[in-house]
Amino acid sequence: MVSNSSHRKSFIDSSIKTARLYGFQGLDFSWGSANTSSDMSNMAALFQEWQAAIDSETGQSKLILTAAVPYSQYSESSTYPIDSLRTNLNWLHVNAFDLYMPKWQNFTRAHAALYDPTRNRNTDFGIESWINGGLPANKLVLGLPLYGYAWTLVNPRDNTIGAPASGPAISKSGQISYKDIRNYIQSYGATLVYNATFVVNYCTVGTTWIGFDDVEVVKVKVSFAKERKLLGYFVWQVPYDDNWLLSQTAVDVNGENGTEKKGRLSLIIILIPVIGILILIGALKYYIRRTKNKKKDTEYKAKNSKSKANLVTKAGDFNNNAPNLMDYRFSDIEVATNRFSFENKLGEGGYGPVYKGKLSYSSYLM
């Protein structure tokens, strides 16, 4: 899309139209696979054209334009177009997480480490790279993950950060929400460890090692954002929290020194586009499903109109004696109609829905 100017225009026009239709305050762009210099050049052009289109609107409040970016300005083979980001975007959501994952690394690690004395893959280095590259600190919003990752240890006795691991634990990817981590710790009575070098919490149960951000980590990270004079912070994602524990911790820390109002506003502004997008996705899914169901219903009505007419003729008068009628158990009917599925529904009769079904001995009922 971004490599073609006409495609970019179509995308820009439709995104603005959608934002206005649903009353969004702004738009948040995410392109996780951008990597080459060509990608970055096209991204810069997109943001310039996008902002120009927003500026050209009249008679309406100006839309906010933001983007989600990695922890650092550096990709594998290029760098992000900082000049375009600074000029055309209101702020950036820095995804300072998923730096390490059990599917890709065969050793335990803090996936959202604030610091790392041995490597540059950490939040502190990433934020510095954006600022040193020319992006103002007040255009950066720090991401706080409300989830962690579980590794399977090679040796349960070797369970520190950097311990050998054989892959994910608990789930296919190893990802586990904060509320599920809390339940896991309570269920198994695991001991929680806080590592100040990386700024991460972790626990071990047998061969399962889980690294995540708990209350201590959130406090340090929000303080870090304040010290670096970043615009704010955001959490990903809200349903993963445990009764708002981490979210409230972030608000409490951010509210110190008389800045509570500003901190709350930053979080609300960031969440509004996400909520709007989720609503839009839900609405689209509902519309598509409804359209498909209507189409199927029409097809079934057309296909079975003759057969239903014949059934009415053959059925006779149910008020009179009908010696040829057979009795069926409800459980048999439920199985035959595939739990009264939509695909087996013929339509509506005088006594309610009419279904067709196939019995186990190859007979049909309707």
Residue 58: is it exposed, middle or buried by C-beta count within 10 angstroms (0-12/13-18/19+)? exposed
pLDDT at 278 over 60: no
Cβ-count burial 290-316 (b if 16+ within 10 Å, e if not): eeeeeeeeeebeeebeeebeeeeeeee
Residues 320 and 322: their CA atoms lie apart, in Å, by: 6
pLDDT of 101-146, one tens digit each? 999 999 999 999 999 999 999 999 999 999 999 999 999 999 999 9
Determine, yes or no, domain membership for 167: no
pLDDT of 193-250, one tens digit each? 999 999 999 999 999 999 999 999 999 999 999 999 999 999 999 999 999 999 999 9
19 pLDDT band, cuts 50/70/90, is very high
Q: Which residue has the tokens 């375009």?
A: 84
Neighbours of 209 (CB within 10 A): 26
Determine, yes or no, domain membership for 346: yes
Q: Which amino acid would we find at residue 282?
A: G
Residues 323 and 317: their CA atoms lie apart, in Å, by: 12
pLDDT for the residue numbered 1: 87
Residues 149 and 133: their CA atoms lie apart, in Å, by: 31
pLDDT at 6 over 70: yes
pLDDT at 312 over 90: no
pLDDT for the residue numbered 42: 96
Do residues 37 and 77 make contact, with C-beta atoms less than 8 angstroms apart? yes
pLDDT for the residue numbered 286: 46
The beta strand positions in 187-237, using DSSP E, are 192-195, 200-205, 208-212, 232-236
pLDDT for the residue numbered 284: 47
Range of lowest pLDDT (27-41, 219-233, 286-300): 286-300
Per-residue pLDDT averaged across 17-41, rounded?
96
Give me the phi and psi of 66, to 5 degrees please: -130, 175
Q: If you compute the radius of gyration of the chain from its CA atoms, what whole number of angstroms results? A: 28
287 pLDDT band, cuts 50/70/90, is very low
pLDDT at 44 over 60: yes
317 pLDDT band, cuts 50/70/90, is very low
341 pLDDT band, cuts 50/70/90, is low
Range of lowest pLDDT (96-110, 142-156, 315-329): 315-329
Per-residue pLDDT averaged across 286-308, rounded?
50
Q: Is the pTM of this model over 0.85?
A: no
The overall average pLDDT reported for the chain is 84
pLDDT for the residue numbered 283: 44
pLDDT of 267-276, one tens digit each? 534 444 444 4
Determine, yes or no, domain membership for 62: no
pLDDT at 58 over 50: yes
| Count of the separate structural domains present in the chain | 1
pLDDT for the residue numbered 326: 60
347 pLDDT band, cuts 50/70/90, is low
pLDDT of 65-95, one tens digit each? 999 999 999 998 999 999 999 999 999 999 9
pLDDT for the residue numbered 266: 57
Determine, yes or no, domain membership for 329: yes
Determine, yes or no, domain membership for 293: no
Minimal CA–CA distance to 97: which of 145, 141, 139? 145
pLDDT for the residue numbered 84: 98
pLDDT for the residue numbered 76: 87
Determine, yes or no, domain membership for 223: no
DSSP H/E element including 143: strand 140-145
Determine, yes or no, domain membership for 29: no
Residue 181: is it exposed, middle or buried by C-beta count within 10 angstroms (0-12/13-18/19+)? buried
**Which residues, listed in sequence order, are joined to residue 353 by a DSSP beta bridge?**
348
Determine, yes or no, domain membership for 322: yes
Give me the phi and psi of 319, to 5 degrees please: -80, -20
**Which residues, listed in sequence order, are joined to residue 70 by a DSSP beta bridge?**
95
Domain that holds residue 341: 316-365
Minimal CA–CA distance to 355: which of 363, 343, 344? 344
pLDDT at 314 over 80: no
Per-residue pLDDT averaged across 326-341, rounded?
68
